[in-house]
Amino acid sequence: MLYVGIVMALVLSIILTPLVKKFAIAIGATDTPDARKVHKKIMPRMGGLAIFFSFIIALIVTQPAGQYTWPIVVGASIIILTGALDDRFQLSPKLKVLGQVIAALTVILWGGVQVEFINLPFGGRMEFGYLAIPLTLLWIIGITNAVNLIDGLDGLAAGVSSIALITISGMAIIMGDTYVAMIGAILAASTIGFLVYNFHPAKIFMGDTGSLFLGFMISVLALLGFKNVTVISLLVPILILGVPISDTFFAIIRRIVNKKPISAPDKSHLHHCLLNAGFSHKETVLIIYGIATMFSMSAFIFSQSTLWGALLVIAVVLVAIGLIVESIGLLGKEQKPFLNFVRTRGK
């Protein structure tokens, strides 16, 4: 049934996306260019509806057995509604966050998706107790918005999300978790089908409808696949989602350093920096795909390593992140402490 679900999701997404495009244009769900955006013409958005419906239909047909299915479907429906309303009416940040909180609490309280404890490396475990719900809520909302923030170029969020979903599904298969593997694979197929129309030059944007939905689903699947594990293993989903997490992290640091509000928009995200460095639109997207794949491979190696091997992988990844961030000016053109230190030591 897994192969049936994957093929069905892929084909449905390819069929539904042009229909969603016509619907978006008909209701005025379009994205107008401005100084902060890369595209130069009015584009239909709300493409996430094609990903969502192809995923849901394939899910209903395959019917994966699990206690989380209906909470996930209801939570995803709430997040889709929130994104669709924002794509059409430009919701206030408070209303967008409210929709995300309601969706997250649906899977947390109804589905029981929570990180309740972690096993410590040298014995014993840390119970989160009353902090389990707020920590899980913070994770879901954080990843949801991280994916939303990287949706700045044709095919970027869809491609990075597909890589993350394929990695989560592959690792779930290794761990014997067929439920997470099936849902992740079906969602990846739905996203890849949409990518046919969304890769540069895009014919439609996924909008907040798609980026919030993908972020929400990835955050929940990562929790289901890696919750209640060791401190080391808890880093696996963080590595898999390295691109959106690091881009969001450095955006926050950049705004703090420049004494700007954390929510203030700018044109210094990873894709902006690569474009400013002279790479074309397509080259920038492919480079970020490569970085996302590097993170995913690191997560796989990390999960199969001993404790010291895992720590070595983390060290290598952190150095690589530092070099990339400072080389392209992700923190700002003048913020290069790591490179300055290396140059000083080299003299």
Residue 289 corresponds to which amino acid?
Y
Q: Where are the alpha helices (DSSP H) in the chain?
A: 2-27, 48-62, 69-89, 93-105, 132-149, 156-174, 178-198, 207-226, 235-240, 242-257, 270-276, 281-303, 307-328, 337-346
Which residues are known binding-site members for Mg(2+)? 148, 208
pLDDT of residue 54: 98
Which residues fall in the annotated binding site? 148, 208
Domain coverage including residue 309: 2-346
- Which pLDDT tens digits describe the chain residue by residue (347 residues)? 678 999 999 999 999 999 999 999 999 999 877 655 565 678 999 999 999 999 999 999 988 877 899 999 999 999 999 999 999 999 999 999 999 999 999 999 999 988 877 766 666 677 888 888 999 999 999 999 999 989 889 999 999 999 999 999 998 898 888 999 999 999 999 999 999 999 999 999 999 999 999 999 999 998 888 765 555 556 778 888 888 888 888 888 877 877 777 766 667 778 878 888 888 989 999 999 999 999 999 988 887 777 778 778 888 888 888 777 777 766 666 656 555 555 555 55
Count of all residues that appear for the chain in the document: 347
Output the pLDDT for position 147: 93
Structural domains of the chain, count: 1
C-alpha angle with apex 233: 231 to 238, nearest 5 degrees?
Answer: 95
Q: Give pLDDT tens digits for 215-271.
A: 999 999 988 887 655 555 567 788 888 888 888 888 888 778 777 777 666 677 788
The one-letter code for the residue type at 275 is L
Side chain identity, residue 38: V
Q: What is the pLDDT of residues 307-335, one digit of tens each?
A: 778 778 888 888 888 777 777 766 666 65
Three state DSSP letters for 148-163: HHCCCCCCHHHHHHHH
- The answer to whether 79 and 214 are in contact (CB under 8 A) is no
State how far the Cα of 20 lies from the Cα of 254, in Å rounded to an integer.
37
pLDDT of residue 260: 77
